[in-house]
Amino acid sequence: MTLMWKLLKKNLSIPQLAGYVFAGFTGLSIILFGIQFYADTKPLYSSNDSFLKPDFLVINKKVSTLSNLSPASNTFSEKDVDDIKQQPFVKKIGFFTSSKFGIRASVSSSAFGRFYTEMFFESVPDDFIDVQSEKWTWTDEQSDIPIILPRTYLTLYNFGFAQSQGLPQVSENLVEKIKLTVTIYGNGKSKNFDARIAGFSDKLNTILAPESFLKYANAEYGHENEKTSKPSRILVETYNPSDPLIAKYFGEKNYEIADYRGNTGKAAYFLRLVIITVLIIGLIITLLAVSLMLLSISLLIYKNREKLENLILLGYSRSTVAKPYQMLGLLLTVFIFALAFVTVLIIRNFYIEKIFILFDSASIGSTLIFTFSAGFAILFVICFANALWIRKKVNETAK
């Protein structure tokens, strides 16, 4: 092996290796920086509503004076629904199902006393809800109902009702631990259930229950009327929530989009576009660097072809002859990866402080695991490709 290294060092071209290190460092740094920057800034453009997926919009008709005269004026007809389905930005739609029975909820606590309130439930198809399946299921055997509340309800309680009544303010985690007793009644029947709060939603200004529960309860305790027989709100899954056609179409139809963040969606789309462009540039530079290294090693093998042939004739195996060249490529690539990762870490420490200053409440990503894993995967691919290429060239030389 010592003889192999002496043979390798004799014909090494320092400028060529330096060129590979510089180009590889530049390309890999760009790739790792793009990945880490996107991971860190993605929460700034994402809705903090963890229950409705970001590609879904909630649509309803604007309430007008006519709504008081005709309950059906703010519901969607079959013609309305068909027209929405035909729009190019629509992937699929779902409907809200309303409770058609009476609901009374109560909670008893030493801290808050005992409260009673009349309430309502709505449901949407389960594939529109982004909640772990074990948290969002209901069967006939269950005595407890998972529900999702609007986050505005908690805000109104904490900064309105609680302050005026001298009651303690509560956090989301505390509320999720409170058990509610829900009584549903209708058609001369009633039944008590326990209710647990599965979470809070920013986009859905309603109290959600699982679709399976609402189907059961409507069949047992519900009644039909003109207002509940047709959907008053529709969920629309879009291909791209930042599509300008969305605001144009629904504006012309005089429909309202709940919590529509068109500008935020456009910013998120632009961010993804920029990151993809940066990653492509980094990938191209990295591929060029790898090509440069492979070319340099091929030239080294070509210069030493006679000596390599003699070594193989003397009994050295092809893997032994190829190993110094493979180790050279591995060491250089590992060095480039370490240098690029440290550089990205230094740059991140600089810009992360700026983001915290500009966005005090932003939930900034703090992990480097994904970026390290991506870089390690690239490192593995490059080293594996180098090893195969060098072995191939050595085999060709030994023929």
- Give the number of C-alpha atoms closer than 13 A to the C-alpha of residue 94, restricted to the C-beta side: 19
Confidence (pTM): 0.53
Over residues 309-337, the pLDDT tens digits come to 666 666 667 677 677 777 877 888 889 88
Closest alpha carbon to 28 in 357, 368, 351, 344 = 344
Are 212 and 123 in a shared domain?
Answer: yes
Are 252 and 133 in a shared domain?
Answer: yes
Last residue of a domain, one of 259, 275, 300: 259
Domain that holds residue 272: 2-47+265-398
Over residues 194-218, the pLDDT tens digits come to 888 887 877 677 888 988 899 889 9
Query: What pLDDT shows up at residue 49?
Result: 47
Are 146 and 235 in a shared domain?
Answer: yes
Which residues make Cβ contacts (< 8 Å) with residue 143, sequence separation at least 6?
193, 194
Last residue of a domain, one of 231, 259, 287: 259
Interatomic CA distance for residues 39 and 263, integer angstroms? 20
Query: What pLDDT shows up at residue 13?
Result: 66
Are 126 and 39 in a shared domain?
Answer: no
Are 250 and 285 in a shared domain?
Answer: no
Are 169 and 189 in a shared domain?
Answer: yes
Query: Domain count of the chain?
Result: 2
Whether residue 127 is predicted with pLDDT greater than 70 in this model: the reply is yes
Over residues 382-393, the pLDDT tens digits come to 888 888 887 777
Are 363 and 296 in a shared domain?
Answer: yes
Interatomic CA distance for residues 367 and 375, integer angstroms? 14
Which residues make Cβ contacts (< 8 Å) with residue 141, sequence separation at least 6?
none
Last residue of a domain, one of 244, 259, 274: 259
Are 246 and 109 in a shared domain?
Answer: yes
Are 8 and 120 in a shared domain?
Answer: no
Are 232 and 285 in a shared domain?
Answer: no
Of 47 and 6, the structure prediction assigns the larger pLDDT to 6
Are 273 and 233 in a shared domain?
Answer: no
Interatomic CA distance for residues 57 and 94, integer angstroms? 10
Are 220 and 116 in a shared domain?
Answer: yes
